[in-house]
Amino acid sequence: MSAVLEVSNLRKSFGGITAVDNVSFDVREGEILGIIGPNGSGKSTLFNCVLGQLTPSAGEVRLDGKVTTGMRPCDLNRLGVSRTFQLLQVFPQLSVRDNLILAGQEHKGSMYSRLIGRADAGLGEAADKMIEFFRLSHLAGEQAGALSYGQQKLLDAAMAFMAGPRFVLLDEPAGGVNLTMLGLLRERLQAYHAERKATFVVIEHQMEFVMALCTRVLVLAEGRLIAEGAPADIRRNTAVIEAYLGREMANA
């Protein structure tokens, strides 16, 4: 499998704190890579640097072999890189349907062509399909802010898929989502993965979710990469148990 994303010697410090310390890894085409680690281990900061929300202090990021360090998130997104954030990020005063149309509209034509084009940017049908895929059809016309937390979380994920990305980062998709909704979310992610052969990176604390979904796992602690491997191996890794999982999880 070839690498879609290559991160080399990435470092990010805030004042005296080094949040990400010389991290290098590859994300391979078509895999579902899990990133785990304790709170404050630099998982989100790492990906904020990789995807342009933050500028790294040092290091390099390559997408398909081309350097993308310092590229703006909107330009990266138009190259097929999509993401969700740790905290819920929908547009509460737009309808569910408009949230999804928004998530796809900038991928078609130029900004000025959208001014004279159709109001739904020709994405109405695609949005309705996505809404159906995530089982939100009965809520399509509602304002996103009126949805329950779990439903907003589904919408948040749906938005990341709207433009048909080939690389998706999900930052704690399971956080605060109940078990039934979590099952639905996992099923939807796997279905999309199978259908589009997209590459996924999932940052998550919910270990069952990670173990069931991911094909490979990276472990971060204190800004460093401490382990890498198949989910089952990670579970038995003593360094990971010490730093993050604890004995109970390892024995489970």
Partner 1 sequence: MNRVGIIGIAIAAVSAAALPFFLKPFGIYLISMWVVLTIAAIGLNLTLGYAGQVSLAQGAFVGIGAYSVALLTQAGWPYPAAFICAGLLCFGIGWILGYPALRVQHHYLAFVTLAFTTLVFLVLRNEEWLTHGIYGINGIVRPTLFGWSTNGARAYYFFSLGTLTVLAAGTWWMLRSPWGRAFIALRENPIRALSLGLDTRRYTLMAFAIGSMLGGLSGALYAPLVQFIEPNSFTLGLSFNLLLMVIVGGSGKFFGPFLGALIAVLLPEWMRITEGYYLIIYAALIMVMMAFCPYGVLGMLERALKAVGVRRDPPAPALQAEGTGL
Applying CB under 8 A, which residues contact partner 1?
A: 51, 53, 72-74, 77-78, 82-83, 85, 89-94, 98, 101-103, 105-107, 111, 114-117, 119, 121, 135, 137-139, 141-142, 159, 162-163
The nearer residue to partner 1, 33 or 160, going by C-beta atoms, is: 160
The nearer residue to partner 1, 2 or 110, going by C-beta atoms, is: 110
Nearest approach, Cβ of residue 155 and partner 1 (Å): 12
The nearer residue to partner 1, 144 or 213, going by C-beta atoms, is: 144
Nearest approach, Cβ of residue 246 and partner 1 (Å): 33
The nearer residue to partner 1, 95 or 215, going by C-beta atoms, is: 95
The nearer residue to partner 1, 102 or 211, going by C-beta atoms, is: 102
Backbone angles phi, psi at 175, to 5 degrees: -55, 120
Q: 181 in the Ramachandran plot: left (φ > 0), alpha (ψ -120 to 50) or beta?
A: alpha
Selection from 168, 200, 220, 169 nearest residue 36 by Cα = 220
Nearest approach, Cβ of residue 89 and partner 1 (Å): 4
The nearer residue to partner 1, 51 or 207, going by C-beta atoms, is: 51
Residue holding tokens 């148990």?
241
Q: Residue 182 has what DSSP assignment?
A: H
Tokens found for residue 69: 């360090």
Query: Which string of DSSP letters, residue by residue, matches 34-89?
Result: EEE--TTSSHHHHHHHHTTSS--SEEEEEETTEE-TT--HHHHHHTTEEE--SS--
Rounded alpha-carbon distances, angstroms, from residue 118 to 23, 111, 121, 122, 142: 45, 13, 5, 6, 21
Nearest approach, Cβ of residue 125 and partner 1 (Å): 15
166 with 198: CB under 8 angstroms? yes
- Strand, helix or coil at 216? strand
